[in-house]
Amino acid sequence: MRGIKELIEEAGRCVRCGACKSVCPTYDVLRREQSGPRGRLSLVEASFKGESGFGGAYLKNIKECTLCGSCHSNCPNGVNIPELILAARAEGVEKGGLSLAESFAYRGLLHSERFMQAALRLASRLQGLFLKGTAFENGLVSRFSLPVIGGGRLLPELADEFFLDRSHIEELSPSATPVRGKKGGVLRVGFFAGCGVNYLLPDIGEATIRVLKESGAEVVVPQQVCCGMPAYSAGDRRTARDLALKNLEAFEASGVDIITTSCATCGHGLKKVFAELLSDEGLQMRSRVERFASMVRDITELLTGELPYKGGEKGKKGGVVTYHDPCHLRRYQGISEEPRRLLSKSVFTFKGMKHPCRCCGLGGGVGFANYELSMEIAKEKASSVRATGADVVATACPGCMVQLKDALYQSGVKARVAHVVELL
């Protein structure tokens, strides 16, 4: 893990050319220098060099970053601004602690899976009090303005039965000719569900398991906790580290050949962030976490790699599908062709959208901390989708899906949002 000092040094390579502004979703919407990468870098640099404070304006601007990574991909000098922002957020948490709401969310809820489950189960039963159904596909609109949430926002409905509570998912045999793993037996795949699938979109989990079995794998769903990425993005590394360790232990005990997830954000967490969080804990831990990371595949990567998806029904009778690239999949994991290849094997006709890899606006905690900004960013995505005339928008991240559903609803675009695996 690179510390703030090293990252500030790297920021010295910035020549203030401004190229990053052209790809930054928040700059595009807000058109203020401090709301773009060059301004954020300048603020962090000045604050840590003691030339400027860590006050309200500083915090507001570093919290506005979605961490989409476009600025880093486009920097001629390779300055990793998102990593700098993350480190600055982490320093903020170390120095000033978390706000009350953040502390409740990250330390209270995420940290204790039992408390989180209980709280959300209660919420699942009470949601009708605050939220009303829409004529749209599954989703609820807040009846009146709630703290943090605000009125009129399309929220994903909490699942009646959470995915990880379902008894039929514990251990499953392949439903087609088995594929062999390296050890000779049937390829044993551990599924990491993630909170999006578990609490909100369990159908993705069901679809993932179905496709894995149909492709010839044995599937296991070990007892697991949140991947920790929401806490990590907010700068709360302590919570993120504890969650990483719990998950590492759970999957090590399950004896799997491969670990897969259908969440782009969790995937980035499992592949790279776990190692970053646990890297300082001795050689033995390092080799454990490296081995763990080397087993992780995004579901679209697995189905175009070790466990090839053969394709189901023939013919293109499913309508038109377009695809949105999740930041955590395309820029953080370098996966962009795989989901498109899978879609080309589905019954849908593929049609690309304009700017498919522009951030949906949810990431980096922006959807939680600054809903209005997050929706402003998402508007462009909604109009890209509208221009394709697609019946379905596919993506590979439950977070993006929640955001896209809301954005399409707000913009009146009548396209369904689905995970790639749900279309196979």
Partner 1 sequence: MLKATARDEITGIVGKGNASFGKEELLCYSYDATNSLYPPDGVVFPGGPEEISRILRLANTEGFPVIPRGAGTGFTGGALAVEGGVILSLERLKGIREIDTANLTADVEPGVITGDLQAEAERLGLFYPPDPTSLKFSTIGGNIAECAGGPRAIKYGVTRDYVLGLEVVMPTGEIITTGTKKTMKGVVGYDLTRLMVGSEGTLGVVTRAFLRLLPLPEAKRTMLVEFLSLEDAAGAVEAVINAKVVPSTIEIIDDVCIRCVEKYAKVGGLASVEAVLLIEVDGKETGVQDDVARIRRIASERGAKTFWVASGRDEEKDIWNLRRAISPSLSKVKPTKLNEDVVVPRSNLVGLITGIEDIASKKGVVIASFGHAGDGNIHVNVMVDKNNAAEMQRGMDAVKDIFELTISLGGTISGEHGIGIAKASYIGMELSAEAIEVMRGIKKALDPNGILNPGKIFPKAFRQPQHA
- Residues of this chain that bind partner 1 (CB under 8 A): 13-19, 21-22, 31-34, 39, 42-43, 46, 51-53, 55, 57-58, 61, 76-77
Least separation in angstroms between residue 353's CB and partner 1 is 16
Three-class SS of residue 259? strand
**For partner 1, the closer CB: 52 or 254:** 52
Query: Is residue 146 within 8 Å of 130, Cβ to Cβ?
Result: yes
Query: Is residue 198 within 8 Å of 205, Cβ to Cβ?
Result: yes
Least separation in angstroms between residue 12's CB and partner 1 is 8
Least separation in angstroms between residue 385's CB and partner 1 is 18
**For partner 1, the closer CB: 14 or 278:** 14
CA gyration radius, the chain: 21
**For partner 1, the closer CB: 18 or 255:** 18
Task: Give the amino acid at 424.
Answer: L
Least separation in angstroms between residue 319's CB and partner 1 is 27
The pairing of strands 171-172 and 218-220 is antiparallel
**For partner 1, the closer CB: 27 or 192:** 27
**For partner 1, the closer CB: 57 or 122:** 57
**For partner 1, the closer CB: 261 or 388:** 388
Rounded to whole angstroms, the Cα distance separating 243 from 214 reads 31
Structure tokens at 171: 């251990």
Render 16-32 in DSSP notation, one character per residue: ---GGGGG-HHHHHH--
Closest CA to 268 of 211, 320, 215, 227: 227
**For partner 1, the closer CB: 24 or 413:** 24
Least separation in angstroms between residue 325's CB and partner 1 is 17
| Helices 81-96/37-48 angle, 10° precision | 40
Closest CA to 322 of 344, 291, 307, 300: 344
Structure tokens at 220: 């296991």
256: Cβ–Cβ under 8 A, 6 or more apart, which residues? 188, 189, 190, 220, 295
Least separation in angstroms between residue 332's CB and partner 1 is 20
**For partner 1, the closer CB: 43 or 225:** 43
**For partner 1, the closer CB: 31 or 414:** 31
Least separation in angstroms between residue 47's CB and partner 1 is 9
| Residue 186 DSSP code | B
**For partner 1, the closer CB: 45 or 422:** 45
Least separation in angstroms between residue 43's CB and partner 1 is 6
Query: Is residue 230 within 8 Å of 109, Cβ to Cβ?
Result: no
Rounded to whole angstroms, the Cα distance separating 341 from 331 reads 18
Least separation in angstroms between residue 41's CB and partner 1 is 10
Phi first, then psi: give them for residue 156, nearest 5 degrees: -70, 140
Least separation in angstroms between residue 203's CB and partner 1 is 36
Least separation in angstroms between residue 174's CB and partner 1 is 40
| Residue 75 DSSP code | -
Q: Which helix (H) or strand (E) covers residue 139, if one does? A: none
Closest CA to 264 of 110, 401, 155, 120: 401
**For partner 1, the closer CB: 36 or 228:** 36
Does the CA dihedral 14-15-21-22 come out positive or negative?
A: negative
